[in-house]
Amino acid sequence: MSSAGNPVILGIETSCDETAAAVLRGRTILSNVIASQTDIHREYGGVVPELASRHHLERIDAVIDLALGRAGTRLADLDAVAVTYGPGLVGPLLVGLQTAKAIAYVRKIPILGVNHLEGHLRSVFLEHPGVPFPAISLIASGGHTSLYLSPDEDRSVRLARTRDDASGEAFDKVAKLVGLGYPGGPVVDRLAKSGDRKAVPFSPPKMSDGSLDFSFSGFKTAALRHAKARGLERRFPAGEPDQETRDLLASFQSAVVEFMVKRVMTIARKEAARSICLSGGVACNSLLRARFSEAARARAMNVFFPALDLSTDNAAMIAAAGYHKLARGERAGVALTAHATFPLGA
């Protein structure tokens, strides 16, 4: 059972291709279970929404049982249930929402609706409670690349976003182009280690209006043009790629990372930020972690990343956002529904 200041919260996350449930007591993670569907979507080069919905439905109950079991809790111990209600794929979101509503109804506990993006922001604060503010928070994932100014843990104002593809989407599309399947980020990260990052020239995008927004489609198009010209296009499963393909991947990854570092550091300086917080699947990238750490150290700023299993989609970050909502007295009703688009702090 919970003690007064430390409610036990079940988090549920089904916005894309991870079926996830987690239990938090206060801000402490008791369990964090993630059933990934990447094996199902790999050959399609991206997430197939209908397949995702069906697999969420098949797995959600078992994933919740496992999260409760690993936490040493039962449904009767829960003080609230927090669930992602957008942005994301509507079918998959509805599976999590209906499950959360059923638990809340049967147990007569509050249901807390969480914006997935707030979850990613919270993933950093959950693990690093001492982040010096103001902080610049970058969410870089398969669906989003947005940058926020966080004056404190509870407030975030969006300062920049991508004008076209998300950063993770660019990784996924370039991996698909050379037959490496979905998700592209981890495999590009691995193969880039044996490639020459200076082999293929990429130019960073320039915004004609001087905006500091992001753009990634130009990197993808340049990679496509190079792959066509050099005969590097492949169908999945391509097997281990040759040196020229590794060079292309290393050059692409380096160009994308350097663009992100430059843009984020420019904004961080302008806003006199004390910390840089990075979250979302792309924040797992090893070059990105190394380059942001170097850049922040050179400017005497702090840099924070969540652990790898809290960077990609997970339900601990959703329960963490729920914890703050519960403390503020926010409650959602049975009318809570899914939102495909759902900006945060815009």
* Residue ranges that bind ligand KG4, judged by CB under 6 A: 16, 141-143, 168, 171-172, 183-186, 189, 280-282, 284-285, 312-313
> Least distance from C-beta 272 to ligand KG4, angstroms?
28
> Least distance from C-beta 117 to ligand KG4, angstroms?
9
Q: How far apart are CA 10 and CA 64, in angstroms?
A: 8
Residue 132 per-residue DSSP state: P
Asked if 199 contacts 254 with a C-beta cutoff of 8 angstroms, the reply is no
> Least distance from C-beta 169 to ligand KG4, angstroms?
6
284 contact, one of ligand KG4, Zn ion, none, CB 5-8 Å limit per kind: ligand KG4
Under the rule (CB under 5 A), what is the footprint of Zn ion?
A: 141, 313
Strands 275-279 and 302-304: parallel
142 contact, one of Zn ion, ligand KG4, none, CB 5-8 Å limit per kind: ligand KG4
> Least distance from C-beta 184 to ligand KG4, angstroms?
5
Nearer residue to ligand KG4 within complex by CB, 7 or 184: 184
181 contact, one of Zn ion, ligand KG4, none, CB 5-8 Å limit per kind: none
218 contact, one of ligand KG4, Zn ion, none, CB 5-8 Å limit per kind: none
Q: How far apart are CA 345 and CA 312, in angstroms?
A: 21
Nearer residue to ligand KG4 within complex by CB, 86 or 110: 86
> Least distance from C-beta 182 to ligand KG4, angstroms?
7
| Of 29, 30, 33, nearest in space to 63 by CA | 33
Q: How far apart are CA 250 and CA 252, in angstroms?
A: 6
> Least distance from C-beta 248 to ligand KG4, angstroms?
15
Give Cβ neighbours of residue 295 (< 8 Å, ≥ 6 apart). 261, 265
Tokens 């790898």, residue located? 308
Interior CA angle at 113 toward 137 and 103, to 5°? 135
Classify burial at 64, counting beta carbons within 10 Å of its beta carbon; exposed 0-12, middle 13-18, buried 19 or more.
buried
171 contact, one of Zn ion, ligand KG4, none, CB 5-8 Å limit per kind: ligand KG4
Helix/strand/coil for 24: strand
Nearer residue to ligand KG4 within complex by CB, 14 or 73: 14
96 contact, one of ligand KG4, Zn ion, none, CB 5-8 Å limit per kind: none
φ, ψ dihedrals at 86, nearest 5°: 155, 170
Angle at which helix 184-192 crosses helix 286-298, to 10 degrees, equals: 70
Nearer residue to Zn ion within complex by CB, 172 or 313: 313
Nearer residue to Zn ion within complex by CB, 122 or 197: 122
> Least distance from C-beta 304 to Zn ion, angstroms?
17
Give Cβ neighbours of residue 168 (< 8 Å, ≥ 6 apart). 140, 141, 142, 143, 145, 183, 185, 280, 281, 282
Nearer residue to ligand KG4 within complex by CB, 16 or 277: 16
189 contact, one of Zn ion, ligand KG4, none, CB 5-8 Å limit per kind: ligand KG4
Nearer residue to ligand KG4 within complex by CB, 150 or 312: 312
